[in-house]
C-alpha cells in the first residue's frame, strides 16, 4: 500500500475540495435577504469582480513576461528544465483561482450573514464561518492538489516514477519551484495591491465622509462606501488567502528540497516502503492530513446560545483551532515514525555528518506548532482589547496625538522582543534537533492547518461586511449588534492571523534560504567578506523602503478618492438628501486603478534587486560564482531579518492603535475619569489609528510576501550561480556579449578535526573535491585514530 502514499495528499486535497463544494452550496442556499440588502451586496460583489478582472489583465501580462524570462533561464542553465514555465503558469493560475473562489464566496456570504443575523447569532456565526471555511479549504485544497500533482508528473517525467539519484530529484524539485514562484508572484500583487486598495478606500471614505461631511461610517450616501466594503474583501480575504497559499506551497517545497538533501547525505539512496522518497514525501503528506484535520476543526466551531458574547464566539473558534493543531501533532508522530528511516544522516555545517533519529524530526514539528501558537499569543497580548500595552496607549491619548503616536510606535517596537526571541529559539531549536530539514518540517507542521487558519481569518471581514450591509440597509439595531459581536472577534483573529502569517513567512523564508544554499552548493554565507556584508546592509534596507513606498501609495490613492467623493458631493444633485444616487462604480474604479498602478514599483523592487545583484556581481566577479551566490545569500538574509522585524513592528503597532481607539467605544478610565467617544483623547486615538491603518493593512503584511518572494527568486536564480549538482556548469552564452576567458577551477580540501575526551580520541576527516565531499569518523585510542587518518589521507 505504501507506494501509493504519494497519492494520499491528492486524495486529501480532493476530499477538502469536495467538502468545500458542499459547504459552498449550503452557504449559497441560505436566504440572501430582500431588496436593498441584495442591491448593496451586488454592488460589493461587482466591485470585487471589477478589481479582480483588472488585476488579472495586468497579471496575465506579468505572467507572460516572467514566463519568457524563465524560459531564457531554462535555456541558459542546463539543470533548469523548460517545464518550469508550465509549473509557473499553473502556480499563478491556481493562486488566482483560489483568490477568485475565496472572494466570490466572501462577497456572497456577507449578505447571507446579515440575513441570518436577523434570526439568531448562532446562525450568523454558522453562515459567516461557513464562508470562511470555503475560502480556507479552497486555498489549501488547490495548493496541495497542484503541488502534489506536479510533483507526480515531474517525478514520472524526469525519473520514470522511481528513484534514480538525488541529482535527478533536484531537477524535479527545481522545476516544481516554478509552481511556488507563480503562486508567490500572484500573492505579491494580491497582497500589496489589495492592501493599497483597501486602505485607499477606507481612508478616502473616512476623510470626506466622516470628517468633512459628518455622515457616519458605511452610510449609503457616501460614494466611497462600496469601495470601502470591496476593500475588505480585496485586502483581507483575497490578499491574506494569496499570502497563505504562497507560504503553504513554498514551505512544503522547501521541505521537499531539504528532504532530498537528507537522502544525499545518506549516500544518495535509501531503502524504504515509499520508493526511497520518504523524506521528500513527508512534508506534503503532513499538509494533506492537515486538510483533513482542518475539516474536523471547522465542524467544531459553533455556539448554541443566542445571548452569546465575544468570549463564547472566540472560544468556539479556539476549540476548532486547537483540535486541528493537536490532531496534526499526533499525526506528525505517526507519519514521522512511519515514513522516515529510523536513523538518518544529516550534514551539520562545521560539525560534519551526524546520526539523527526520526523522533528528533517529530520534536522539530512540535517546535513549529508551539512557536506558531506562541507568536499568535504574543501578538494578542500586544494588540488585544484591554491588555496592558493597549491600555497604556489609551492613557497616553489624554496628552494628545503626539504622545499617543509615540506610545503606539514604542509598543510595536517593544513587541519585537519576545517575537524575535521566540523565533530565534525556533530556528536554533529545530535546527539543533534535525538540521535545516527540521526547520522546514517545523514550518510545514505549523502550516498544516492553514485551511483552519484561513477559515478563522476570512470570517472576520465577512462579518465586517455583514455589519456594513445591515447599516446601509437600515435594518433593526439588534442585527447590527449581532454582527458587531462577530466583527469584534474578527478584529482579534485578524491580529493573531497576521502573527501566524509572518511567523509562517519567516520560517518559510528560512527553509527556502537553506534550500538556496544547498542548490548553489556554496560553503555557507560568510558575512566577513565585505561584498557579502554590503549586501546584508542593502537587504536590510529593502523592507524599510518597501514599507515606505506602500505607505505613500496609500496616501496618494486616498487623495484621489477624496477628490472624487468631493466632486460627487458637489455635482450630483440631492445626494446628501438620499434622493440622488452616488456613482459607486467611479470610486471602485479609482481604488482599482490606484492599487494596480501603485503596486508596480514595490513589485519591481522585490524582483529586480536580486537580479541586479547577480548582474553587478557578474560584472565585477565574472569568474567567481561562489562569491556572487554568497552576496545574494547575504541580501536574502538581510531582507528576511529586517522584513520580520518591520512586519512585527508595523502589524503590532497598527493593531494596538486600532484597539486603543476601539477602547473608547465602551469607555475608558483616564486619570480617574471615564472617557468616551468624541472626547479629545478619543480624537488623539483616532489619529493614531490613521497612522496604524497602512501599517497593519498595507505595509506590514506586505513584508511576508517580500521576504518569501526574495528567497524564491534567489532559489530560481540559484542554478545560474551554483555548480549545484552538476560537476561542471555550462557557461552561459548570451548573444553579442564577449565572455571573459574561460576558467576551470578545481577545489580540493582535506579537513581533519580531532578531539580527545577521557582518553578516547575521535576524528572527523572530511575530504572534499570539486564540490563532492566524503566524510569519515574514527574513534579509538589516539594512536589508532592517527593511523587511520594517515591511511586515508596518504
- Count of beta carbons in the 10 Å neighbourhood of residue 556: 15
CB 673 within 8 A of CB 148: no
The nearest distance, CB 363 to its own copies, in angstroms, is 15
Work out whether 124 is an interface residue with its own copies (CB under 8 A).
no
Q: Which 435-454 positions form the footprint of its own copies (CB under 8 A)?
A: 436, 439
Measured CA to CA in angstroms, residue 201 lies from 40, 169, 490 at distances of: 17, 47, 20
What is the rounded CA–CA span in Å between residue 181 and residue 86? 11
Binding test (CB under 8 A) with its own copies, winner from 37, 176, 244, 409: 409
- Count of beta carbons in the 10 Å neighbourhood of residue 311: 10
Distance of CA 663 to the CA centre of its chain: 30
CB 713 within 8 A of CB 181: yes
Binding test (CB under 8 A) with its own copies, winner from 107, 294, 591, 642: 642
C-alpha dihedral, 617 to 619 to 622 to 628, nearest 10°? 0
What is the rounded CA–CA span in Å between residue 33 and residue 274? 53
Binding test (CB under 8 A) with its own copies, winner from 428, 476, 727, 739: 428
C-alpha dihedral, 605 to 608 to 612 to 613, nearest 10°? 70
Set of cell numbers at residue 319: 476549540
Q: Indicate the residue among 50 and 544 with the shorter CB distance to its own copies.
A: 544
One symbol per residue from 516 to 535: x for binding its own copies (CB under 8 A), - otherwise; what is it? -x-----xxxxxxxxx-xxx
Work out whether 641 is an interface residue with its own copies (CB under 8 A).
yes
Q: Indicate the residue among 53 and 753 with the shorter CB distance to its own copies.
A: 753
Listed ranges 111-119, 162-170, 251-259, 750-758: which one lies at the site for its own copies (CB under 8 A): 750-758
Binding test (CB under 8 A) with its own copies, winner from 25, 306, 751, 781: 751
Listed ranges 239-247, 579-587, 719-727, 747-755: which one lies at the site for its own copies (CB under 8 A): 747-755
Work out whether 363 is an interface residue with its own copies (CB under 8 A).
no
Q: Which 377-406 positions form the footprint of its own copies (CB under 8 A)?
A: 396, 399-403, 405-406
Q: Which 180-239 positions form the footprint of its own copies (CB under 8 A)?
A: 207, 211
Binding test (CB under 8 A) with its own copies, winner from 744, 783, 790, 791: 744
What is the rounded CA–CA span in Å between residue 602 and residue 740? 34
Q: Which backbone phi and psi does 120 adopt, to 5 degrees?
A: -160, 160
Binding test (CB under 8 A) with its own copies, winner from 420, 572, 601, 729: 420
Work out whether 729 is an interface residue with its own copies (CB under 8 A).
no
Q: Indicate the residue among 302 and 753 with the shorter CB distance to its own copies.
A: 753
Work out whether 350 is an interface residue with its own copies (CB under 8 A).
yes
What is the rounded CA–CA span in Å between residue 629 and residue 608? 16
Q: Indicate the residue among 480 and 498 with the shorter CB distance to its own copies.
A: 498
Binding test (CB under 8 A) with its own copies, winner from 637, 709, 711, 721: 637
CA triple 726-727-729, angle to 5 deg = 70
Work out whether 66 is an interface residue with its own copies (CB under 8 A).
no
What is the rounded CA–CA span in Å between residue 536 and residue 533? 5
Binding test (CB under 8 A) with its own copies, winner from 757, 783, 790, 791: 757
The nearest distance, CB 117 to its own copies, in angstroms, is 32
What is the rounded CA–CA span in Å between residue 315 and residue 498? 19
The nearest distance, CB 385 to its own copies, in angstroms, is 21
Binding test (CB under 8 A) with its own copies, winner from 290, 384, 634, 719: 634
Binding residues for its own copies, total number by CB under 8 A:
99
Q: Which 656-695 positions form the footprint of its own copies (CB under 8 A)?
A: 686-691, 694
Work out whether 790 is an interface residue with its own copies (CB under 8 A).
no
Count the alpha carbons within 13 Å of 70 in the hemisphere toward its beta carbon: 29
The three-state secondary structure class of 223 is: coil
Binding test (CB under 8 A) with its own copies, winner from 638, 722, 723, 724: 638
What is the rounded CA–CA span in Å between residue 116 and residue 94? 32
First to last CA, the chain: 49
CB 423 within 8 A of CB 375: yes
One symbol per residue from 542 to 571: x for binding its own copies (CB under 8 A), - otherwise; what is it? --xx-xxx-xx-xx------x---------
The nearest distance, CB 13 to its own copies, in angstroms, is 32
What is the rounded CA–CA span in Å between residue 420 and residue 15? 37
User: With 0-12 CB in 10 A as exposed, 13-18 as middle and 19+ as buried, what is 465?
Assistant: buried
Listed ranges 101-109, 134-142, 569-577, 627-635: which one lies at the site for its own copies (CB under 8 A): 627-635
Work out whether 31 is an interface residue with its own copies (CB under 8 A).
no
Work out whether 274 is an interface residue with its own copies (CB under 8 A).
no
What is the rounded CA–CA span in Å between residue 193 and residue 51? 10
CA triple 173-177-180, angle to 5 deg = 135
The nearest distance, CB 409 to its own copies, in angstroms, is 7
Amino acid at each position: 500500500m505504501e507506494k501509493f502514499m504519494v497519492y494520499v495528499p491528492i486524495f486529501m486535497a480532493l476530499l477538502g475540495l469536495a467538502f468545500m463544494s458542499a459547504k459552498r452550496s449550503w452557504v449559497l442556499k441560505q436566504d440572501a435577504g430582500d431588496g436593498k440588502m441584495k442591491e448593496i451586496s451586488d454592488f460589493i460583489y461587482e466591485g470585487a469582480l471589477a478589481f479582480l478582472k483588472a488585476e488579472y489583465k495586468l497579471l496575465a501580462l506579468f505572467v507572460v513576461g516572467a514566463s519568457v524570462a524563465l524560459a531564457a533561464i531554462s535555456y541558459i542553465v542546463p539543470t533548469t528544465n523548460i517545464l518550469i514555465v508550465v509549473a509557473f503558469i499553473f502556480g499563478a493560475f491556481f493562486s488566482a483561482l483560489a483568490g477568485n473562489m475565496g472572494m466570490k464566496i466572501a462577497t456572497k456570504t456577507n449578505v447571507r450573514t446579515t440575513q441570518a443575523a436577523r434570526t439568531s447569532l448562532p446562525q450568523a456565526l454558522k453562515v459567516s464561518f461557513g464562508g470562511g471555511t470555503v475560502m480556507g479549504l479552497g486555498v489549501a485544497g488547490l495548493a496541495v492538489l497542484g503541488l502534489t500533482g506536479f510533483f507526480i508528473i515531474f517525478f514520472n517525467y524526469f525519473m520514470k516514477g522511481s528513484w534514480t539519484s538525488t541529482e535527478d530529484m533536484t531537477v524535479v524539485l527545481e522545476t516544481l519551484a516554478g509552481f511556488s514562484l507563480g503562486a508567490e508572484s500572484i500573492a505579491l500583487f494580491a497582497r500589496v495591491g489589495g492592501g493599497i486598495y483597501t486602505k485607499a478606500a477606507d481612508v478616502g471614505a473616512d476623510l470626506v465622509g466622516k470628517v468633512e461631511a459628518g455622515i457616519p461610517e458605511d452610510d449609503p450616501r457616501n460614494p466611497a462606501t462600496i469601495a470601502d466594503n470591496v476593500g475588505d474583501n480585496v485586502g483581507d480575504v483575497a490578499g491574506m488567502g494569496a499570502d497563505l497559499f504562497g507560504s503553504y506551497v513554498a514551505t512544503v517545497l522547501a521541505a521537499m528540497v531539504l528532504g532530498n538533501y537528507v537522502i544525499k547525505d545518506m549516500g544518495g539512496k535509501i531503502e524504504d516502503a515509499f520508493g526511497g522518497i520518504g523524506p521528500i514525501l513527508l512534508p506534503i503528506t503532513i499538509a494533506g492530513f492537515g486538510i483533513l484535520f482542518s475539516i474536523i476543526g471547522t465542524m467544531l466551531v459553533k455556539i448554541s446560545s443566542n445571548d452569546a458574547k465575544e468570549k463564547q464566539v472566540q472560544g468556539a473558534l479556539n476549540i476548532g483551532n486547537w483540535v486541528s493543531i493537536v490532531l496534526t501533532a499526533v499525526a506528525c508522530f505517526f507519519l514521522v515514525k512511519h515514513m522516515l528511516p529510523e536513523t538518518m544522516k544529516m550534514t551539520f555545517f562545521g560539525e560534519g555528518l551526524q546520526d539523527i533519529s526520526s523522533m528528533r524530526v517529530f520534536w522539530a514539528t512540535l517546535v513549529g506548532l508551539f512557536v506558531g501558537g506562541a507568536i499568535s499569543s504574543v501578538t494578542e497580548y500586544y494588540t488585544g482589547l484591554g491588555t496592558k500595552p493597549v491600555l497604556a496607549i489609551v492613557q497616553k491619548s489624554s496628552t494628545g496625538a503626539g504622545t499617543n503616536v509615540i506610545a503606539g510606535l514604542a509598543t510595536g517596537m517593544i513587541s519585537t522582543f519576545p517575537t524575535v526571541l521566540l523565533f530565534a529559539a525556533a530556528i536554533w531549536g529545530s535546527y539543533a534537533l534535525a538540521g535545516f530539514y527540521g526547520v522546514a518540517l517545523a514550518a510545514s507542521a505549523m502550516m498544516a492547518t492553514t485551511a483552519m487558519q484561513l477559515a478563522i481569518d476570512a470570517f472576520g471581514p465577512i462579518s465586517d461586511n455583514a455589519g456594513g450591509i445591515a447599516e446601509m440597509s437600515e435594518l433593526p439595531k439588534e442585527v447590527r449588534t449581532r454582527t458587531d459581536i462577530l466583527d469584534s472577534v474578527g478584529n482579534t483573529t485578524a491580529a493573531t492571523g497576521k502573527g501566524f502569517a509572518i511567523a509562517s513567512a519567516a520560517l518559510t523564508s528560512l527553509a527556502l534560504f537553506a534550500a538556496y544554499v544547498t542548490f548553489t552548493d556554496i560553503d555557507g554565507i560568510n558575512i566577513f567578506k565585505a561584498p557579502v556584508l554590503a549586501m546584508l546592509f542593502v537587504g536590510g534596507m529593502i523592507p524599510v523602503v518597501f514599507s515606505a513606498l506602500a505607505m505613500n501609495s496609500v496616501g496618494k490613492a486616498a487623495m484621489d478618492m477624496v477628490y472624487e467623493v468631493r466632486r460627487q458631493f458637489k455635482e450630483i444633485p440631492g445626494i446628501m438628501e438620499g434622493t440622488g444616487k452616488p456613482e459607486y462604480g467611479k470610486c471602485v474604479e479609482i481604488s482599482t486603478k490606484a492599487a494596480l498602478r501603485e503596486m508596480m514599483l514595490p513589485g519591481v523592487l522585490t524582483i529586480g534587486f536580486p537580479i541586479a545583484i547577480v548582474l553587478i556581481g557578474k560584472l565585477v566577479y565574472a569568474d567567481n560564482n561562489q562569491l556572487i551566490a554568497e552576496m545574494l545569500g547575504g541580501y536574502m538574509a538581510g531582507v528576511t531579518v529586517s522584513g520580520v522585524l518591520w512586519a512585527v513592528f508595523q502589524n503590532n503597532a497598527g493593531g494596538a492603535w486600532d484597539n486603543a481607539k476601539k477602547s473608547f467605544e465602551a469607555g475608558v478610565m483616564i486619570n480617574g475619569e471615564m472617557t468616551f467617544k468624541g472626547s479629545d483623547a478619543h480624537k488623539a486615538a483616532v489619529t493614531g489609528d490613521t497612522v496604524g491603518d497602512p501599517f497593519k493593512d498595507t505595509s506590514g503584511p506586505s513584508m511576508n510576501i517580500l521576504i518569501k518572494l526574495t528567497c524564491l527568486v534567489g532559489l530560481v536564480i540559484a542554478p545560474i550561480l551554483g555548480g549545484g549538482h552538476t560537476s561542471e556548469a555550462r557557461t552561459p552564452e548570451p548573444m553579442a556579449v564577449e565572455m571573459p576567458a574561460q576558467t576551470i577551477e578545481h577545489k580540493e580540501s582535506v579537513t581533519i578535526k580531532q578531539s580527545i575526551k577521557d582518553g578516547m580520541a575521535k576524528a572527523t576527516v572530511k575530504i572534499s573535491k570539486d564540490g563532492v565531499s566524503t566524510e569519515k569518523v574514527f574513534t579509538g585510542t589516539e594512536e589508532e585514530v592517527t593511523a587511520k587518518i594517515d591511511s586515508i589521507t596518504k
